[in-house]
Amino acid sequence: MGRLRREMERSQPNGSGADAIGAVNREMPERSVAPGGLGPRTKGATMTTRLVALALLCLVTGTAMAQEAKVTSLMSKDLPESPGREIMVITVEHAPGGSNPVHRHNAHAVVYVLEGSVVMQVKGGKEVTLTPGQTFYEGPDDVHVVDRNASSSKPAKFLVFLIKDKGAPALLPVE
């Protein structure tokens, strides 16, 4: 019965005799040991452990959020010779290791790399790595299957010139 009681106490949430990791040790509290086995657990050690865990969580979350491409619209201009059509110019910035999901533009799109290097591929085409000054073309029916920064340590930036239907979105996700 004593063993069963100890097992039940171990499953109790903090605040009912459990320490920071959920263990209950009422009989011999001096045996509660700090992470790494370096001595008794103190409130300071527990707080430090929690702060380190929180900092790591924030870092991981921040890194995940930084992976999204930053898109900046530079201009949009109607094409009088083609009623209902416009040209749009945007910049796309990929953080190190960043990428875009599979998408299409329903437009003629010309990419011009400004900084870093990017990997591009349309469905049925070859994957290419582009560096500053190089270009890439996507047609209105192309599905862009690869659009990512080639580097995991340096950002990449490119211009995109789109000729599309006026008011249509620049990018359409493909499922």
Is residue 22 predicted with pLDDT exceeding 90? Answer: no
The sign of the CA dihedral 36, 38, 40, 46 is negative
Measured CA to CA, the distance from residue 170 to residue 74 in angstroms comes to 13
Is residue 12 predicted with pLDDT exceeding 80? Answer: no
Q: What angle do CA 24, 27, 28 make, to 5 degrees?
A: 90
Is residue 64 predicted with pLDDT exceeding 90? Answer: no
The tens digit of pLDDT for each residue in 126-143 reads: 999 999 999 999 999 999
Is residue 146 predicted with pLDDT exceeding 70? Answer: yes
- Cα separations in angstroms, 21 against 13, 37, 143: 9, 14, 49
The residues pairing with 165 across neighbouring beta strands, listed in sequence order, are: 85
Is residue 42 predicted with pLDDT exceeding 90? Answer: no
Is residue 172 predicted with pLDDT exceeding 50? Answer: yes
Q: Which two tokens stand for residue 74?
A: 């530079």
Q: What is the pTM of this model?
A: 0.62
Q: Which two tokens stand for residue 14?
A: 């903090």
